[in-house]
Amino acid sequence: MNDLVTYESIENVAVITIDRPEKLIALNPAVVEGLREVWARYETSDERCAILRGAGDRAFSAGADLKDNPLDLWMGVPDLGVPVTKPIIAAVHGHVIGGAFILIMHCDLIIAAESTVFHYPEARVGFTGGIVAGLVVRIPQKVAVEFMLLGQPMTAQRAYEVGMVNKIVPVGTQMEAAKEWAKILVNNAPLVVSTLKAFSLRTIPKSPSDLAAEARRDLTRIHTSRDRTEGERAFAEKRVPKYRGT
């Protein structure tokens, strides 16, 4: 992990913080790599629930850093870049823009401070990874298309009304509320929680970008594997390769 994404274990809860307040928590390649690493750590840890938050007071995240754009944002998105079988709660406040919205869209629960404003301006910026299209099966289709194509901000209240977030709380209390829900999840049967999460994800149709990201994730495991290196070396040395499945 790097110092832009931190991981803290508190009573079987993983508190994951994107810590780049001087840049409004903008997402760059280092942040994406840090997220990929913490999701992998969380999945293999003893923690039973995770809370994702952004440091600072002004924003959960201003989205992609346009001066250092993470073109492979999907790698840091839970369930796309890293399969995560355990629940994730997003605790958000202030601005949630572009790629930051993609992150929380793939969390299982979202608690928003009443000051939160959601914004997906990619149609105006001139770039998208397409993953946001999965929003049409998470909230009413017409509202999702409005949010994606018009690029207009959406308040926390409207986001709650259309089912984009689970709960609105006073500013500054979103982490407290997230910890209350996390405590419930920690004390619930983990096999039931993980099974219901898995069934829920399998029930949601996947967008073309989701499927492409999952394929790239699986192929990346092969491309970066020791077996690939062993296969190429064995071919050059004209011997039978010794594969280990890693």
Give 83-118 pLDDT, tens digit per residue.
999 999 999 999 999 999 999 999 999 999 999 999
> Does residue 45 form part of some domain?
yes
CB 13 within 8 A of CB 182: yes
Question: Same structural domain for residues 162 and 238?
Answer: no
- Asked whether residue 221 carries a pLDDT value surpassing 90, the answer given is no
pTM: 0.91
> Does residue 131 form part of some domain?
yes
Q: What is the mean pLDDT of residues 60-75?
A: 92
Encode pLDDT of 176-201 as tens digits: 999 999 999 999 999 999 999 999 99
Question: Same structural domain for residues 174 and 222?
Answer: no
Q: What is the pLDDT of residue 1?
A: 61
CATH number, domain at 213? 1.10.12.10
Question: Same structural domain for residues 175 and 245?
Answer: no
> Does residue 34 form part of some domain?
yes
- The domain tally of the chain equals 2
Task: Indicate the DSSP class of residue 118.
Answer: E
Q: Which residues of 63-93 are buried (b: 16+ CB within 10 A; e: fewer)?
A: bbbeeeebebbbbbbbbbbbebebbbbbbbb
Least confident piece of the model among 157-166, 185-194, 219-228: 219-228
Question: Same structural domain for residues 183 and 107?
Answer: yes
Encode pLDDT of 5-32 as tens digits: 999 999 999 999 999 999 999 999 999 9
CATH number, domain at 49? 3.90.226.10
Query: Where does residue 234 rank: exposed (0-12), middle (13-18), buried (19+ CB within 10 A)?
Result: middle
Q: What is the pLDDT of residue 34?
A: 97
Question: Same structural domain for residues 140 and 81?
Answer: yes
Domain of residue 157, residue span: 5-188
